[in-house]
């Protein structure tokens, strides 16, 4: 008769491994249910699925959609904050310009949220979620200086447009050309706004009178 192999793991090691496994499982469930509506036990949800995407593909695309949704909302809030706070020589230029730039990218908020829903997701948009996912930080202090505002926005737009470019590749790699096309358009829009703001920074008075 073959003797059963004796478990040589120490109790403490086994307990630690068990906790780590549970934590990993809980984290996976938390991440999935954060945006994945296909597995939610809620009313009127029986037919929700990921359409032509596999679970893995949906997970990759959904992460980009949720992050970019939060980022776009925070970018909107940042433009509005600077729109309200700007003072001085460039007030008449930047106060209306910020709203014009918002008009250029504001539709992307709903488009990204609805794209996530169409793929079987459920967008999260509570303040804590926006802070967790967004790559843009909404100012908590008052900034009046035009150059400081514009420089900050150009830095954000550089990061955001690159993010859309990279996420377009991710969507393509996961057989989702429709989301990739959305990102390509958003990247072009962010590039244009960045160019316009950066052009304003090439002003000696703005640079030297801060």
Q: What DSSP string describes 16-74?
A: HHHHHHHHHHHHHHHHHHHHBGGG---TT-TT---TT--HHHHHHHHHHHHHHHHHHHH
Contact of 106 with 118, CB cutoff 8 Å: no
Name which of 107, 97, 122 is nearest 73 in CA terms: 107
Burial of 11 (0-12, 13-18, 19+ CB in 10 A): exposed
Query: How high is the pLDDT of residue 31?
Result: 45
Query: How high is the pLDDT of residue 29?
Result: 41
pLDDT (tens place) for every residue of the chain, 210 residues total: 545 555 555 544 444 554 444 444 434 444 444 688 667 777 776 666 677 788 899 999 999 999 999 999 999 999 999 999 999 999 999 999 999 999 999 999 999 999 999 998 889 889 999 999 999 999 999 999 999 999 999 999 999 999 999 999 999 999 999 999 999 999 999 999 999 999 999 887 778 777
How many Å apart are CA 196 and CA 101, to the nearest integer? Answer: 10
Query: How high is the pLDDT of residue 203?
Result: 83
Handedness of CA 115, 178, 162, 54 (dihedral sign): positive
Going along the chain from its start, the domains and CATH numbers come out as 55-208 (1.20.1260.10)
Longest pairwise C-alpha distance within the chain: 92
Using DSSP, state whether 121 is helix, strand or coil.
strand
């Amino acid at each position: 008769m073959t003797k059963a192999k004796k478990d040589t793991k120490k109790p403490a090691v086994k307990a630690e491994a068990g906790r780590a496994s549970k934590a990993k499982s809980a984290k996976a469930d938390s991440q999935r249910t954060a945006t994945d509506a296909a597995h939610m036990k809620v009313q009127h949800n029986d037919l929700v699925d990921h359409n032509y995407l596999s679970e893995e593909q949906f997970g990759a695309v959904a992460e980009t959609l949720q992050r970019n949704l939060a980022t776009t909302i925070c970018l909107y809030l940042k433009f509005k904050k600077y729109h309200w706070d700007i003072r001085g020589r460039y007030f008449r230029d930047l106060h209306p310009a910020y709203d014009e730039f918002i008009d250029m990218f504001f539709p992307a908020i709903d488009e990204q949220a609805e794209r996530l829903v169409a793929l079987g997701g459920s967008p999260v948009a509570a303040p804590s979620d926006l802070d967790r996912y967004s790559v843009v930080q909404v100012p908590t202090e008052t900034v009046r200086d035009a150059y400081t505002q514009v420089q900050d926005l150009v830095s954000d737009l550089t990061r955001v447009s690159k993010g859309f470019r990279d996420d377009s590749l991710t969507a393509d790699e996961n057989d989702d050309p429709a989301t990739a096309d959305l990102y390509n358009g958003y990247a072009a829009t962010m590039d244009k706004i960045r160019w316009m703001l950066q052009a304003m920074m090439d002003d000696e008075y703005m640079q030297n009178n801060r």
